[in-house]
């Protein structure tokens, strides 16, 4: 900066001081003045991507700026999350994380380059996503009981698609496998969008996926669903039994998706973003699309940044005794 620039800048700071504002408060007041980047840690077309696009599409209208989705894939979502943790904390780079990137990855990866609580500000929960046990449409078992017997009998031959170590599909199928006492072959993809394509094409045998990705395929008859791992059936799939109904009550799994900002993002910016999420979740069109895809809209008390912070803490505590470190 030249002398003139320095003078201008110091004048700016002096004006702000006169108004009782710090420069970060002033930036937050006008926020956002340009496009916002939303990092999605998995491939396009998967549940995280779909939920992020539905909600940020509405948030962009509220905020008056475009929200650009950037799919950054790899390492079960942790590559993108590391990048988001190191981004400028000015509200212009955010991430849509989930139960994997912001909870299960902590005990899974002892050398994780970020910590969900220390390196991020919680912004707001977007949607809960029940987990389904899915299979290619020509896998022989016709119900969950037959599937369990089949996987046990063919443990060394069957394979399970997932979105990388630490992804929701990986962690929830590991949980299923430990309930069943089997160790099938895992086949990693960059997201369950591409994993679903492989399931539809019959290239992999089964998958534990968040509901959002699966409803259109199940209803279209391109894959089969053995059960939903929640206490109640899902209204978008009334014919799919719960795991309890189908004979496997021990397998319960529901994931969640939420927006986070790098640590130190100004509180006023977080408040604006959270208000935009809340507004999106109250919009009839947004609600309809989320519900049609089987997701669960958070109750009002669960939509605050503080509630998301509490969720992250409890989810890390929940997964720590369940998952084993990978390195
Ligand atoms: N939710 C991820 C996706 O959007 C995949 C996963 O976590 O299993 O592809």
Length of the chain equals 327
DSSP 53: H
Q: Identify the residue whose tokens are 């990137």.
A: 101
List all residues whose CB is within 6 A of at least one atom of ligand 1.
42-43, 46-49, 98, 100, 163, 167-169, 191-193, 210
Mutational test site, ligand 1, from 168, 189, 194, 197, max ligand atoms within 8 Å of CB: 168
DSSP 304: S
- Which CATH code for domain 130-254? 3.40.190.10
Residue 155 alpha carbon to ligand 1 centre in Å: 24
Q: Does this chain's domain 36-128+257-319 share its CATH topology with 130-254?
A: yes
Indicate the class that CATH gives domain 36-128+257-319: alpha beta
pLDDT tens for the chain, residues 1 to 327: 444 444 444 444 444 444 555 666 666 789 999 999 999 999 999 999 999 999 999 999 999 999 999 999 999 999 999 999 999 999 999 999 999 999 999 999 999 999 999 999 999 999 999 999 999 999 999 999 999 999 999 999 999 999 999 999 999 999 999 999 999 999 999 999 999 999 999 999 999 999 999 999 999 999 999 999 999 999 999 999 999 999 999 999 999 999 999 999 999 999 999 999 999 999 999 999 999 999 999 999 999 999 999 999 999 999 998 888 886
φ, ψ for residue 161, nearest 5 deg:
-80, 145
Answer yes or no: pTM beyond 0.75: yes
Residue 241's nearest CA partner among 224, 250, 228 is: 228
Query: Distance of CA 265 to CAs 18, 94, 97, 273, Å?
Result: 23, 10, 16, 11
Mutational test site, ligand 1, from 210, 213, 295, max ligand atoms within 8 Å of CB: 210
DSSP 259: E
Report the pLDDT value the prediction gives residue 29, as an integer from 0 to 100.
81
The domain locations on the chain are: 36-128+257-319, 130-254
Residue 190 alpha carbon to ligand 1 centre in Å: 8
């Amino acid at each position: 900066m030249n002398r003139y620039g320095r003078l201008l800048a110091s004048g700016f700071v002096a004006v702000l001081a006169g108004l009782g504002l710090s420069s970060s408060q002033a930036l937050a007041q006008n926020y956002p003045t340009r496009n916002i980047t939303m990092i999605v840690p998995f491939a396009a077309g998967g549940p995280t991507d779909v939920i992020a696009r539905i909600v940020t599409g509405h948030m962009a209208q509220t905020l008056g700026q475009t929200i650009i989705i950037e799919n950054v894939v790899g390492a079960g979502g942790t590559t993108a999350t590391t990048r988001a943790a190191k981004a400028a904390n000015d509200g212009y780079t955010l991430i849509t994380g989930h139960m994997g990137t912001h909870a299960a990855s902590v005990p899974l990866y002892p050398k994780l380059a970020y910590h969900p609580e220390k390196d991020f500000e919680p912004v707001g929960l977007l949607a809960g996503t029940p987990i389904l046990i899915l299979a290619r449409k020509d896998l022989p078992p016709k119900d969950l009981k037959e599937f369990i017997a089949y996987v046990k009998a063919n443990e060394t031959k069957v394979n399970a698609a997932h979105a990388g170590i630490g992804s929701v599909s990986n962690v929830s199928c590991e949980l299923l496998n430990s309930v069943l006492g089997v160790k099938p072959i895992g086949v990693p993809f960059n997201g369950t969008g591409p994993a679903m394509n492989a399931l539809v094409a019959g290239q992999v045998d089964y998958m534990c996926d968040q509901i959002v990705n699966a409803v259109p395929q199940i209803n279209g008859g391109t894959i089969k669903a053995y059960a939903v791992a929640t206490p109640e059936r899902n209204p978008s799939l009334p014919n799919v039994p719960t795991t309890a109904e189908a004979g496997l009550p021990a397998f319960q799994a529901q994931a969640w998706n939420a927006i986070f900002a790098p640590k130190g993002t100004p509180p006023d910016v977080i408040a604006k973003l959270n208000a935009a999420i809340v507004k999106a979740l109250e919009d009839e069109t947004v609600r309809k699309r989320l519900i049609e895809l089987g997701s669960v809209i958070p109750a009002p008390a669960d939509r605050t940044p503080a509630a998301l912070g509490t969720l992250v803490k409890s989810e890390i505590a929940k997964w720590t005794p369940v998952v084993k470190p990978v390195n």
